[in-house]
């Protein structure tokens, strides 16, 4: 297969690239390196099967030749990253997605959309099932990301119904692991780096809000399973092991052996209070479920950051 991965130099995209290279596929990475890095793909530099093209997919999708699959992972993903780039986030979710859909459609390739649990906003239904339509404030600060992804789902479905494009939509829940950018502001990378440096762990609000953390290897296996299937979705991909943010801080303190304190900072506007995926659909339709326990995945991630900080 020849697979195009938009956002392939990012955290999830680089792991998805590894997965397809390991399967013997040729991979074309399209990335503008706003939040992704060359370093995430450095280990593949001498792999002939990987071609890296620097491009902003909101402006151009410079891919020629046969394509069998297109994954759209291009978008800032961490709240600080998309809050800093509201217009770029809206552009990549809308125009970027449209351009990638055009490529998939004209190539008769399957298109996999990396959507998000943020579709559900601050959810009134718990755990979140795919039929739940969400509770999003379109003009709140997070609206630029949530609505970009909601539009991306809508245009993906419209290509399918109008043109018959082969599509699958994944709603990805919080994922962590090696290659999370140390400074991108997400909870796991923040807490691990703070714990390893002996700095206070910055818990926003009372820390009783919940998240369910999925290890990256599990997540990209789910994305590839959706790519291999004929399922349209949307389909939740995540680990239903729900924890409070305070619990996540305490586990990381224990696993690092750090004596860092916990410091409470203000809760960001519209920060969802509860989040946990119902993965019945993924299990039944893709035969997928996560297999890596939160503590085990966190240990590997801590080792990765310890090595990074040493360097
Ligand atoms: P990331 O920031 O590490 O990766 C995103 C990649 O997209 C980066 O390499 C970035 O440079 C690239 N990119 C951004 N705008 C672009 C543009 N206009 N043109 C080309 N490339 C562009 O984030 P991630 O965690 O790897 O997330 C990947 C995708 O998965 C995102 O679309 C995100 O919304 C989605 N997602 C991730 C999570 C998670 O927990 N990691 C959860 C839900 C959804
Ligand atoms: N969070 C926190 N401290 C941090 C970073 C995040 O308490 O240093 C909280 C944040 O308020 C949210 C949760 O951790 O409730 C997950 O945040 P993240 O940015 O990783 O992802 P989100 O699910 O909000 O997109």
Q: What is the pLDDT of residue 224?
A: 98
For residue 112, the model assigns a pLDDT of: 99
State the pairing for strand pair 175-176/214-215. parallel
Give residue 35's pLDDT. Answer: 97
> By residue range, what is the domain housing residue 17?
2-177+215-240+279-291
Say if 150 falls within a structural domain.
Answer: yes
| Dist. CA 56 → ligand 1 center (Å) | 12
CB neighbours (10 Å) of residue 34? 18
In this structure, is residue 193 part of a structural domain?
no
The burial class, CB within 10 Å (0-12 / 13-18 / 19+), for 152 is buried
The pLDDT value given to residue 69: 99
Query: 220 alpha carbon to ligand 2 midpoint, in Å?
Result: 21
CA-201 nearest atom, ligand 2: 8
pLDDT tens digit sequence for 214-227: 999 999 999 999 99
Residue 246 counted as domain residue: no
Domain assignment of residue 206, yes or no: no
Number of Cα atoms under 13 Å in the Cβ half of residue 61 = 26
Residue 25 within any structural domain of the chain = yes
**Largest Cα–Cα separation, the chain:** 58
Q: CB-based burial of residue 202 (10 Å sphere; 0-12 exposed, 13-18 middle, 19+ buried)?
A: middle
Residue 198 placed within a domain = no
Give the tokens for residue 24.
Answer: 């013997």
- What total of structural domains would you count in the chain? 1
Distance CA 66, CA 169 (A): 22
CATH of the domain at 142: 3.40.50.720
Q: With CA atoms as reference, report the closest residue to 281 among 242, 231, 245, 244.
A: 231
Active site residue 145: yes
Low-confidence ranges of the chain (pLDDT < 70): none
Q: Could you identify the atom of ligand 1 that is nearest to the CA of residue 186?
A: 40
- The helix (H) or strand (E) run that includes residue 92 is none
DSSP H helical segments within the chain, as ranges?
11-22, 79-84, 86-91, 97-107, 143-163, 187-197, 216-228, 245-256, 280-286, 294-310
What is the model's pLDDT at position 126?
97
The one catalytic residue in 71, 145, 176, 215 is 145
19 within a domain of the structure (yes/no): yes
Q: Which residue in 1, 13, 169 sits closest to 97, CA to CA?
A: 169
Residue 299 Cα distances to 238, 252, 259, angstroms: 19, 9, 17
Q: Which two tokens stand for residue 91?
A: 């552009």
- Å from CA of 158 to ligand 2 middle: 32
Residue-level pLDDT at 311: 87
Q: Whose CA is nearest to atom 19 of ligand 2?
A: 186
199 within domain boundaries: no
């Amino acid at each position: 297969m020849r697979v195009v991965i938009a956002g392939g130099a990012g955290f999830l995209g680089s792991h998805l690239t590894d997965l397809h290279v390991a399967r013997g596929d040729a991979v074309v990475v399209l990335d503008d390196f706003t939040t992704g890095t060359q370093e995430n793909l450095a280990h593949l530099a001498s792999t002939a099967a990987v071609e890296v093209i620097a491009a902003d997919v909101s402006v151009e999708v410079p891919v020629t030749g046969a394509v069998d699959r297109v994954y759209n992972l291009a978008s800032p993903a961490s709240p600080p990253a998309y809050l800093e780039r509201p217009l770029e986030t809206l552009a990549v979710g809308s125009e970027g997605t449209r351009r990638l859909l055009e490529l998939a459609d004209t190539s008769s390739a399957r298109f996999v959309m990396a959507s998000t649990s943020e579709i559900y906003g601050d959810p009134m239904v718990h755990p979140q099932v795919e039929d739940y339509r969400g509770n999003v404030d379109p003009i709140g600060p997070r609206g630029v990301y949530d609505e970009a992804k909601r539009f991306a789902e809508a245009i993906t479905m419209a290509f399918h119904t109008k043109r018959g494009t082969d599509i699958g939509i994944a709603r990805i829940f919080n994922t962590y692991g090696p290659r999370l950018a140390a400074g991108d502001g997400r909870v796991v990378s923040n807490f691990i780096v703070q714990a390893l440096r002996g700095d206070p762990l910055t818990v926003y609000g009372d820390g009783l809000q919940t998240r369910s953390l999925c290890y990256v290897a599990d997540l990209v296996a789910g994305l590839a399973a959706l790519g291999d299937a004929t399922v349209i979705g949307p389909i939740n991909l995540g680990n239903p092991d729900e924890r409070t943010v305070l619990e996540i801080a305490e586990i990381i303190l224990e696993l690092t052996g750090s004596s860092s304190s916990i410091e409470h900072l203000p809760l960001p506007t519209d920060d969802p209070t509860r989040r946990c995926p119902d993965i019945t659909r993924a299990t039944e339709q893709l035969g997928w479920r996560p297999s890596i326990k939160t503590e085990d995945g966190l240990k590997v991630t801590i080792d990765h950051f310890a090595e990074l900080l040493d360097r």
